[in-house]
Structure 1
């Protein structure tokens, strides 16, 4: 059995929640189902192939109007399911600062 690595408490949905993934630059979009969610991330089942998609950073759209969304980065892939970490505003700046300090 795989050890649980998620830090936050997980909420699992019996039937999943319909959602969409969209590239940061808007060049791609995929339907998906959110199977579970925590404060820090989620497990998604993707409809269609993820091959060729830039999954390093993307948006998870939770509403049809696009008003509810989370910025995500890929954590893992297992067949048609992926794990994502939610990014908070300023996360990229902090990581770049840490990298620059480590390179110095």
Structure 2
């Protein structure tokens, strides 16, 4: 049995929660099932092939309107299941400092 490496406690869903994965640039979307979730990541079961998808960074859409989402990065793959780490704002790219207009 693989050792549990997750730091936070997780919530396991008995039947899974329907969700969607979407590319950062919006060029692809896949249905998935949220199997478990913690503060830092989740386990998903993917419907269809993930071959050719850019999974380094993507969105996990948790609502049908897309208003509830998490930015993710791929942690592991095991058949049709993947593990993802949730990214916090500023984890991957540093934002440019806000420009101030000069007062003349």
Do these two structures clear the TM 0.5 threshold for a shared fold by scoring above it? yes
Q: In the TM superposition, what whole-angstrom CA distance separates every residue of 1:57-101 from its partner, at most 9, and x where no partner exists?
A: 00000000000000000000000000000000000137xxxxxxx
Q: How does 1:50-89 map to 2 (within 5 A)?
A: 50-89=50-89
In structure 2, distance between residues paired with 1:11 and 1:22: 23
In structure 2, distance between residues paired with 1:59 and 1:82: 14
Q: How does 1:42-53 map to 2 (within 5 A)?
A: 42-53=42-53
In structure 1, distance between residues paired with 2:13 and 2:6: 17
Structure 1 residue runs without a partner (length 5+): 95-104
Instruction: Point out the structure with the larger helix share.
Output: 1
Task: Name which one, 1 or 2, has greater alpha-carbon Rg.
Answer: 2
Q: In the TM superposition, what whole-angstrom CA distance separates every residue of 1:39-68 from its partner, at most 9, and x where no partner exists?
A: 000000000000000000000000000000
TM-score scaled by length of structure 2? 0.89
TM-score scaled by length of structure 1? 0.89
Q: Where does residue 99 of structure 2 map in the other structure?
A: none
In structure 1, distance between residues paired with 2:21 and 2:2: 26
Q: Where does residue 9 of structure 1 map in the other structure?
A: 9
3-state secondary structure, aligned to 1:91: coil
Q: How many residues align?
A: 94
